[in-house]
């Protein structure tokens, strides 16, 4: 087959969907499925090209294949990486993520997905400034496929030498199934980023596309032509798969079941749409996807994907003065303009061989290699002299301010407090500046947990020893009118103190926690700003593994929460003029138990931390209480 515009149409729909998902647009809940589309189409097309080459020559030119892939993908990537690396620190200044250099280098060498797994960067929730290179994880997976799959295919074609054997198809199909099994087994409830980024878990998407190419190859041209005559059934299959795909794009969020076979189900469903438009290019669904404007967007899809995320990160409401629809229009316009320039001035000319013609066949590879080296150096020095925002590593201090009003609210405590502060709805409270000043992974109680009577050394964080100094600095810098003190997630655990394990609910632990509360209140003095301590709500964390033991049972135990809340109530009663208890349990658990959806919204992402909707609801609930006290 020659050029098929409908496949570009599929890319167009997918890239626009993922752009909307990253805005984010609330009604595109499943925009992340768009990545599957790119993977399936890539697997199908690349496998088809390799099979065609093997059928013609009896072998596959690996060097030629790798050079073609590099010529198609690398130039635009190099330009994006260098430009974004140089520009981002100058625009974001001290909000520039501390991971930007490492992320850029990892993207350059196509291992961004594994770096994000190792550094714990979540795709689904981002408390601090997101990395402008976070989206390059998909390029890593595809390039790893390009590197390994041709070798596997050559082996399979040489092992199964009989003409049009089903052997390669069966093996590749089994590998796709194995990848789906890996996703189900390795997935961590609450934040599935490990399997979302992992090559082992995501290879199923690409391999399903490869299976389609292998099946058609096995059938042979005559049988495929015969099958393509069934235009009506193929059209029905195409429209059914297209509608189902749109449904998944709009309404299927990243819930647990989709990581237990849901990805494979989507891939198989979508590959039927590819089959339909390939075998019956004159059907109504194929014609819709082949509309000139849609095809044009599809041709730009690689550039659109490369540029949309860093532009979205840089073009924020704070920097543009725009919000909602106007901001989205500006973001899309900028993305299309830059992507069109990338396609017409970089991607298409180099793909057609202009660089090779200008430099000569011998100089061109050397020039390309030098370009990669120069890019690596430029990315490495990109943030020199710029104060970077600290990474969200456990124990390190984190700070974020949302809003610019005169009424300052300081949030101290743990990462739950940061999620509430970072998602502060400034448009709802335009006169308020909310500053989160926390240490990730650190509770008000010292970070020496115990479980089943034994200390859990794996959770000790030396950085947690400085949390009160961090609070004190926040007080001096913000001079808040009110303070929100987030705790509970760590205080519900037994703690080792001076060589003894203190059990939650015991008088010894109550005395210890009270002493820590007094020390924290001292750090928030001599200010007279009222302090609102959020009490312990119901928790529902699927897993929290430390040193091979799942501690989630203690965190989810309501009796532990009640014991800690009793200590908080007594502490507040001791300081009636300063300390107030914000009954978070009544907000998050209005029916007395954990519920996935509260007031029509999913307010917590992992049974502990708050989503953007949850944070908005929290502040709409708490701010009237704060204003009532402060006047």
Name the band, by pLDDT with cuts 50, 70 and 90, for residue 397. low
Q: What do you get for the CA distance between the two ends of the chain, in Å?
A: 73
* R_g of the chain, CA atoms, integer Å: 27
Structure-token pair, residue 441: 């992974």
Euclidean distance between CA atoms 42 and 73, whole angstroms: 13
Q: Which residues contact 248 (CB under 8 A, 6 or more apart)?
A: 30, 33, 266, 269
C-alpha closest to that of 37 among 240, 271, 278, 301: 271
**Whose structure tokens read 């490869």?**
210
Name the band, by pLDDT with cuts 50, 70 and 90, for residue 448. confident
3-state secondary structure 385-427: CCCCECCCCCCCEEEEEECCCCEEEEEEECHHHHHHHHCCCCC
Q: 549 vs 218, which has greater pLDDT?
A: 218
Q: Which residues contact 257 (CB under 8 A, 6 or more apart)?
A: none
Question: Do the beta carbons of residue 308 and residue 301 sit within 8 Å?
Answer: no
Other beta carbons within 10 Å of 251: 11
Render pLDDT for 543-567 as a digit per residue (tens, 0 to 9): 676 655 678 889 999 999 999 999 9
Structure-token pair, residue 387: 């104060």
Name the band, by pLDDT with cuts 50, 70 and 90, for residue 572. very high
pLDDT of 369 higher than 80: no
Render pLDDT for 105-133 as a digit per residue (tens, 0 to 9): 999 999 999 998 887 676 554 444 688 99
**Whose structure tokens read 């725009």?**
322
Where along the chain do its domains lie? Answer: 5-380, 397-630
Could you tell me where the beta strands, DSSP code E, fall in 466-565? 482-486, 494-497, 500-502, 531-534, 545-546, 549-550
Euclidean distance between CA atoms 85 and 79, whole angstroms: 10
SS3 for 127?
Answer: coil
Diameter of the chain measured on Cα atoms: 86
Query: What is the predicted pLDDT for the residue at 370?
Result: 74
Burial of 314 (0-12, 13-18, 19+ CB in 10 A): middle
Helix%, strand%, coil% for the chain, nearest 5: 60, 10, 30
Query: What is the predicted pLDDT for the residue at 380?
Result: 80
Q: Is the peptide bond before 24 cis (omega within 30 degrees of 0)?
A: yes
Mean pLDDT of the region 325-351: 94
- Cα dihedral 236→238→243→246 (10° resolution): 180
Q: How far is CA 61 from CA 51, 67, 168, 364, in A?
A: 12, 10, 19, 19
Question: Do the beta carbons of residue 446 and residue 487 sit within 8 Å?
Answer: no
Name the band, by pLDDT with cuts 50, 70 and 90, for residue 381. confident
pLDDT of 434 higher than 80: yes
Structure-token pair, residue 303: 């550039």
Residues in the chain: 631
What is the fold, at CATH topology level, of the domain defined by 397-630?
Answer: Rossmann fold (3.40.50)
Euclidean distance between CA atoms 211 and 209, whole angstroms: 5
Q: 379 vs 199, which has greater pLDDT?
A: 199
Burial of 53 (0-12, 13-18, 19+ CB in 10 A): middle
Degrees, nearest 5: CA angle 199-201-203: 60
Question: Do the beta carbons of residue 150 and residue 65 sit within 8 Å?
Answer: yes
Kindly report the average pLDDT of the chain as a whole number: 88
- β-strand pairing of 482-486 with 531-534: parallel
Euclidean distance between CA atoms 521 and 256, whole angstroms: 40
Mean pLDDT of the region 214-235: 92
Chain-centre distance for alpha carbon 120 = 10
**Whose structure tokens read 């059914």?**
240
């Amino acid at each position: 087959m020659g050029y098929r515009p409908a496949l570009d149409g599929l890319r167009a729909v997918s890239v626009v969907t993922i752009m909307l998902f990253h805005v984010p647009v609330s009604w595109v809940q499943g925009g992340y499925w768009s990545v599957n589309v790119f993977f399936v189409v890539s697997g199908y097309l690349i496998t088809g090209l390799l099979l065609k080459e093997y059928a013609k020559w009896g072998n596959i030119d690996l060097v030629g294949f790798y050079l073609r892939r590099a010529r198609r993908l690398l130039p635009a990537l190099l330009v994006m990486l260098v430009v974004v690396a140089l520009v981002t620190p100058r625009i974001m200044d001290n909000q520039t993520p501390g991971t930007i250099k490492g992320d850029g280098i990892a993207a350059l060498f196509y291992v961004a997905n594994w770096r994000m797994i190792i550094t714990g960067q979540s795709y689904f929730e981002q408390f601090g400034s997101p990395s402008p290179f976070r989206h390059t994880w998909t390029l890593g997976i595809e390039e790893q496929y390009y590197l390994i799959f041709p070798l596997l295919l050559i082996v399979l074609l040489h092992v199964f030498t009989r003409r049009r054997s089903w052997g390669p198809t069966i093996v590749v199909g089994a590998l796709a199934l194995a990848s789906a099994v890996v996703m189900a087994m390795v997935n961590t409830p609450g934040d599935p980023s490990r399997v979302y980024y992992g090559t082992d878990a995501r290879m199923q998407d690409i391999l399903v596309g490869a299976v389609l190419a292998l099946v058609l190859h096995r059938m042979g041209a005559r049988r495929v032509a015969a099958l393509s005559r069934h235009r009506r059934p193929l059209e029905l299959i195409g429209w059914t798969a297209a509608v189902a795909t749109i449904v998944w794009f709009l309404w299927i969020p990243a819930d647990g079941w989709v990581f237990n076979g849901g990805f494979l189900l989507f891939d198989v469903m979508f590959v039927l749409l590819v089959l339909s438009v390939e075998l019956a290019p004159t059907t109504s669904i194929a014609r819709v996807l082949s509309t000139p404007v849609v095809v044009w967007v599809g041709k730009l899809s690689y550039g659109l994907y490369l540029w949309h995320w860093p532009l979205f990160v840089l073009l924020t409401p704070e920097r543009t003065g725009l919000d909602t629809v106007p901001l989205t229009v500006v973001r899309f316009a900028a993305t299309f303009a830059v992507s069109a320039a990338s396609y017409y001035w970089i991607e298409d000319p180099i793909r057609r061989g202009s660089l090779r013609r200008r430099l000569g066949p011998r100089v061109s590879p050397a020039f390309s290699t030098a370009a990669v080296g120069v890019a690596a150096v430029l990315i490495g020095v990109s943030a020199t002299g710029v104060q970077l925002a600290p990474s969200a590593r456990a124990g390190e201090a984190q700070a974020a301010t949302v809003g610019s009003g005169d009424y300052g609210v300081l949030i101290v405590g743990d990462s739950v407090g940061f999620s509430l502060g970072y998602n502060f709805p400034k448009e709802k409270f335009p006169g308020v500046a909310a500053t989160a000043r926390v240490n990730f992974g650190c509770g008000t109680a010292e970070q020496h947990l115990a479980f089943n009577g034994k200390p859990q050394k794996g959770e000790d964080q030396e950085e947690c020893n400085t949390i009160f100094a961090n609070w004190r600095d926040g007080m001096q810098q913000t001079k808040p009118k009110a303070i929100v003190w987030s705790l509970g997630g760590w205080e519900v655990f037994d703690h080792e103190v001076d060589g003894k394990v203190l059990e939650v609910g015991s008088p010894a632990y109550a005395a210890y926690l009270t002493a820590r509360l007094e020390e924290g209140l001292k750090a928030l003095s001599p200010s007279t700003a009222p302090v609102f301590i959020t009490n312990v709500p119901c928790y529902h964390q699927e897993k929290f593994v430390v040193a091979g033991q799942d501690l989630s049972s203690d965190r989810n135990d309501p009796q532990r929460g009640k014991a800690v809340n009793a200590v908080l109530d007594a502490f507040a009663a001791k300081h009636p003029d300063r300390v107030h208890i914000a009954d978070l349990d009544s907000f998050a658990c209005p029916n007395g138990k954990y519920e996935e959806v509260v007031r029509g919204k999913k307010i917590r992402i992992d049974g502990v931390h708050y989503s953007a909707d949850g944070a908005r609801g929290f502040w709409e609930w708490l701010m009237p209480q704060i204003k009532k006290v402060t006047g």
